[in-house]
Amino acid sequence: MAYALEADLDATFGKALVDIITIDPSTLVRNEIAIQQALDDASALIDGYVSVRYPLPLALTPGGVSVVRGLCCNIALCALASTADRMSDIIQKRRDEAVKFLTDVAAGRANAPIFDPTAQPEPLSPNEVLTSFADRTFSPTTLGGF
C-alpha cells in the first residue's frame, strides 16, 4: 500500500515539475507506471525503517498521514528524477532529510506524534473489513453446569 498517490506528488511539487521529470520524450506521455512504482518503492522503504518500532500497517494520526505522505513524495520524486537524469541538489536534499528522519524514528531519536498505536489501521483495500469482538457472553465458564 502506497502512502501517497500520483495526485499527492502533483500537489506537493506541482504538476509541471512532475511532468518534466516523468514525461517520456519519445511519446510525450507521462509515465504513470514509473510514478506508481516509485511511490510503492518509497512506501516500502518507509515501512522498512518504521517497522523496527511500529507494527505494520501503520496506524497514523491525522497529522501523521500528512507527514508520511510528504516523506513518500520526497523519496519517490528523487527516484524518478535520478532515472530521468533530472536530479537537482534540492530534490536530493529533500530525500536525504526524509531518510534521516526515518533513521531517527527507527533508532528512537525521533518521537514525532505521528504514529497512533491505539488507532485501527486504515483498510488496505475498499473490500477489506476490520472487525473487533467483545468478550464472549457465553463460555464454558459462564455456563457452568448447563
Q: For 78-122, write each residue's pLDDT tens digit.
A: 999 987 678 899 999 999 999 999 999 999 888 666 766 666 555
Q: For 8-42, write each residue's pLDDT tens digit.
A: 999 999 999 999 999 988 899 999 999 999 999 99
Chain-wide mean pLDDT for the chain? Answer: 84
3-state secondary structure of 29: strand
- Answer with the residue of higher pLDDT: 132 or 52: 52
| Backbone φ, ψ for residue 112 (5° rounding) | -60, 140
Grid cell for residue 79: 527516484
- 3-state helix vs strand vs coil in the chain, percent to 5: 55, 5, 40
pTM value > 0.85: no
Q: Which 8-state DSSP code applies to residue 36?
A: H
| Backbone φ, ψ for residue 58 (5° rounding) | -65, 140
Percentage of residues in the chain having pLDDT higher than 90: 53
Q: Which 8-state DSSP code applies to residue 97?
A: H
The distance in angstroms from the start CA to the end CA of the chain is 49
* Torsion (CA) 40, 46, 50, 54 in degrees, nearest 10: -30
